[in-house]
Amino acid sequence: MKNTPFTKFHEEAGARMVPFAGYNMPVEYTGINDEHIAVRKKVGVFDVSHMGEFWVTGPSAMDFIQYITSNDVTVLSDGKVQYSCFPNGKGGIVDDLLVYRFNAEKYLLVVNAANIEKDWNWCVKNSSRFGIVPGRDLINASNETAQLAIQGPLALKAMQKLTSVPVEDMEYYTFKVIEFAGIKDVIFSTSGYTGAGGCEIYIKNEDGPALWKSVFEAGDEFGIRPIGLGARDTLRLEMGFCLYGNDITDDTSPIEAGLGWITKFTDSKDFIDKTFLMKQKEEGVERRLKGFIMIDRGIPRQHYEIVNVEGEIIGEVTSGTMSPMMKQGIGMAYLTKGYWKPDCEIFIRIRSKELKARVVNLPFYSKP
């Protein structure tokens, strides 16, 4: 089991630690609901050092990424971040990821922790046709890179104290390489998985302890808190963000998952599964990932069956929870055609009972 540069701080803070993606990670400190609300209202810090980072460099870098990802990399300018996915050649998804453009010949791919080896092998498999050489043009920096996500409405205000470079007014999904908390060459990105605003900060492992201490000192006056993986999951679900392994998998297409907005069919872009996915977009699909809110009291969980009023199975829950902000059961599910419209009545089978729910547009939660 691997530790991150911040493990000792989690243990000192009394976190409940669990194995996750090969790492010893904090799932909660004071309680998931308590931590969730802290992020929505103030500022919280997530250790996301288990995530994967691949550098892609050289004159063929853009063409390579354009081919293996679904989104259009050509629209990126220096300092921009893009959400995308790796189509798997069989109509499904290898993983979802972030693409960072540093310049025309330098990119950073940030992938999910549980998929690092799988994603690396996929990138290597598809690299040779572009002259991309693993170890030279394609580098797996996951083990050398640490990352903190500082999230919440007060996050950027607190972090501004640690740099002379303006960061409070940075646009969403942009980044800068700056000196931060006395550490040089920090990647400071206004991205995140909570929908609460804030940033994600990439550093070398050896700079981790110094960064942690500085971040918490700067955020003290704003009520900063360490946050575990439990609240990370409830926060992303309130926003309707997909989780790989739940809402998207090797057997779900980006079109089925409602990710058509990151699947670009421009004439200049040739990418894996383009023909198949274009056909799905034009002809339609038999199931779609949709959000729903419980009407009856109950908490939906992954794999719960969904039925119509006649009791016929029409879908399956992929993610579900009790929303800490809404005090209501929420979830996402793949539903068969005919049950996609907002306010459509569906029923979730929970402990042999069929509890009423209704389909809604995402996100579930909007900032007041």
Residue 368 confidence (pLDDT) above 70: no
Instruction: Give the CA-trace dihedral at 218, 224, 226, 232, to 10 degrees.
Output: -120
Among 262, 285, 308, the domain boundary falls at 285
CATH number of domain containing 344: 2.40.30.110
Residues 222 and 308 in one domain: no
Q: Is 129 helix (H, G, I), strand (E, B) or coil?
A: helix
Contact 126, 68 (CB under 8 A): yes
pTM exceeding the 0.85 threshold for the entire prediction: yes
Q: Judge whether residue 109 has pLDDT over 80.
A: yes
Q: What are phi and psi of 322, to 5 degrees?
A: -95, 115
Triad 17, 21, 27: Cα angle to 5°? 25
The reply to whether 229 and 311 lie within a common domain is: no
Instruction: Give the separation between CA 123 and CA 57, rounded to whole angstroms.
Output: 13
* Residue 56: alpha-carbon gap to chain centroid: 20
262 confidence band (pLDDT: 50, 70, 90): very high
Kindly state whether residues 300 and 265 are assigned to the same domain: no
341 and 253 in a common domain: no
The CATH number for 242's domain is: 3.30.1360.120
Query: Which of the listed residues 255, 285, 315 is the one where a domain comes to its end?
Result: 285
pLDDT, residue 366, reads 87
Q: What is the average per-residue pLDDT within 343-367?
A: 96
Distance CA 267, CA 265 (A): 7
Considering the domain architecture, whether residues 237 and 361 belong to the same structural domain is answered as no
Return the pLDDT at 214: 98
Q: Do residues 122 and 50 lie in contact, with contact meaning Cβ atoms separated by under 8 Å?
A: no
Q: What percent of the chain has pLDDT over 70?
A: 100
Give the chain's domain count: 2
| Angle at CA of residue 239, ends 237 and 241, nearest 5° | 65
Do 61 and 111 lie in a common domain?
yes
Domain carrying residue 3: 1-285
pLDDT (mean) for 282-305: 98
CA distance 263 to 235: 25
Residues 294 and 244 in one domain: no
Residue 264 sits in the same domain as residue 295: no
Question: DSSP letters along 80-147, please?
Answer: BEEEEEEE-SSSSEEEEEEEEEEETTEEEEEE-GGGHHHHHHHHHHTTGGGT--BTTTEEE-GGGEEE
Q: Which of 285, 315, 350 corresponds to the end of one domain?
A: 285
pLDDT band at 213 (very low <50, low <70, confident <90, very high): very high
Range name among 110-114, 287-291, 350-354 with the lowest pLDDT average:
350-354
Chain segment 24-41, per-residue pLDDT in tens = 999 999 999 999 999 999
Q: Are residues 183 and 264 in the same domain?
A: yes
For the cut 70, the answer to whether the pLDDT of residue 284 exceeds it is: yes
Check: CB of residue 94 under 8 Å from CB of residue 122. yes
* Residues forming beta bridges with residue 45, ordered by sequence position: 150, 226
- In the numeric block, the tokens 């010893």 are attached to 24
* pLDDT, tens only, 63-108: 999 999 999 999 999 999 999 999 999 999 999 999 999 999 999 9
